[in-house]
Amino acid sequence: MFSSLTEKLQQTFKKLRSKGKLTEKDVEAAIRDLRVNLLEADVNFKVVKNLMKNVKERAVGHEVMESLTPAQQMVKIMREELTAMLDQEDGKIELASRPPTVVLLAGLQGSGKTTTAAKLALHLKQNSHQPLLVGADLVRPGAVEQLRSLADQGGLSFSSEGKSPLEVTKRGMKQAQQQGNDLVIVDTSGRLHIDEELMEELSLLKNNLHPQETLLVVDAMTGQDAVNIASDFNQTIGLSGVILTKLDGDARGGAALSVKATTGCPIKYAGTGEKMDALEPFYPERMVKRIMGMGDMLSLIEKAEANLDQEKAIDLEKKLRTQQFTLDDFKEQLKEIRKMGSLSDMLEMLPSQAGIPSDLKNLNLGDEQLVKTEAIINSMTTKERSDPGLINSSRRKRIARGSGTRVQDVNQLLKQFDMMKKMMKKMGTLDKKGGLKKHKGKGGLPFFQ
């Protein structure tokens, strides 16, 4: 996520840190670099122009020029201005004074609207709501069945009875009132492009349902097109917010940094993967920290608290503290981490200065790799699993034969185990109640376990 933009911003700030005191010429050069970085990331040029104007006004004044740490001050200004650009009110769903709350989802075909409807319903269900999914997309073949299948998968209530989108939604509202659902999420039909028929259908639904939220689902990877689509929808039907899908695949970040500034519509949620639970609230400050390479420890901690077994975490902390972390523990820990999603996404939430080895970043936690890892560890003796230092060349060959893998695979696993052990030792401790305790590690970096 935003890897290309983050890398370029890091290079620009590295140049500044190499200078003890900044001149006005240095600041001008940095601002030129930042402008190019953002434009290459497909951020709207008007947004870039206003952002750089604000940064320059603060940077060439005494705030930077007379600072004891001018490079750090420049980074701080950039972070604050990016956050201000994305600043928005609470991104949560606005609830109706009398249930059910109606959320109308709009978007073009291919934006991931139907999947997002189910993800949003599951997210709200996990936050003590009782949502009903209404399949009102009668245009795309299979849309209703897809939503029905996703509803079954997530244990969600579903409705799609009627011959027209309006009839379907009216019956859905009636079912919600009978069943006691406090939220109704309506998946509407999309088109390959914006046309009059689509807007008329959405306007009809909006005028009859009076939704508390009209959210546009848009593909973040389309960059500037996502911004244009959001602007067109907002001008025609009026939006209360945007959900960006495929944000995990957006290496540039142009859409995320442009939508709010160009449309005035807040980004309420972000899709970060294909799984049903891969939808998270959009927090501007946290997102800016990721873009700036500062990590997003709060989101990482929340994921850990929601997915990891606290008793296992306490036991693991004790083993790490007493140097008893074994390959059996490593195997179990990989399974636990996988519950939180992609390892690369989680490591991205750590500050770029954390020094995570590239081999660990590339660790694959897919089903096939986990099976291979388990086979290798299971082919070891109890002593070898407890003390990997015993595993010499001949033992590695025996383990590879026993697990049906190559010696290189065994070597790689042992290397990753060693790196994982070192990284986890750096990442803090648990409090007495088994909760996640944040504190400052060496260099002032926040770590968690």
Q: Inform me whether the pLDDT recorded for 23 exceeds 90.
A: no
67: confidence class by pLDDT, cuts 50, 70, 90? low
Q: Inform me whether the pLDDT recorded for 186 exceeds 90.
A: yes
441: confidence class by pLDDT, cuts 50, 70, 90? very low
Residue with tokens 């309420």: 268
For residues 1 and 135, what is the distance between their CA atoms, to the nearest angstrom?
A: 31
Mean pLDDT of 126-146: 94
* CATH fourth-level superfamily of 298-447: Signal recognition particle, SRP54 subunit, M-domain (1.10.260.30)
Which helix (H) or strand (E) covers residue 32, if one does?
A: helix 24-40
For residues 206 and 186, what is the distance between their CA atoms, to the nearest angstrom?
A: 11
* CATH fourth-level superfamily of 3-86: SRP54, nucleotide-binding domain (1.20.120.140)
pLDDT of residue 434: 36
For residues 291 and 10, what is the distance between their CA atoms, to the nearest angstrom?
A: 9
Q: Inform me whether the pLDDT recorded for 409 exceeds 70.
A: yes
Instruction: Say how far residue 58 (Cα) sits from the centre of its chain.
Output: 31
Helix (H, G, I), strand (E, B) or coil at 399: helix
Q: Inform me whether the pLDDT recorded for 189 exceeds 70.
A: yes
Of 127-131, 264-268, 443-447, the least confident? 443-447
Q: Is the peptide bond before 357 cis (omega within 30 degrees of 0)?
A: no
Buried b (16+ CB within 10 A) or exposed e, 385-424: beebeebeeeebebbbeebebeeebbebbbebbebbbebb
Beta bridge partners of 101: 183
Q: Are 106 and 202 in contact (CB under 8 A)?
A: yes
Nearest to 403 by CA among 335, 338, 327, 324: 327
pLDDT of residue 257: 84
Sketch the domain layout of the chain as residue ranges: 3-86, 101-292, 298-447
CATH 3.40.190.10 matches 101-292 = no
- What percentage of the chain exceeds 70 in pLDDT? 76
Residue with tokens 């007493």: 322
Helix ranges restricted to H, 322-362 = 327-338, 343-348, 358-361
Number of neighbours of residue 61 by Cβ within 10 angstroms? 11
Q: What is the pLDDT of residues 378-400, one digit of tens each?
A: 999 999 998 898 999 999 999 99
Q: Inform me whether the pLDDT recorded for 183 exceeds 70.
A: yes
Beta bridge partners of 446: 440
What are the C-alpha distances in Å from 160 to residues 99, 116, 145, 151? 20, 17, 9, 12
Task: Say how many CA atoms lie within 13 Å of 74 toward its Cβ.
Answer: 31
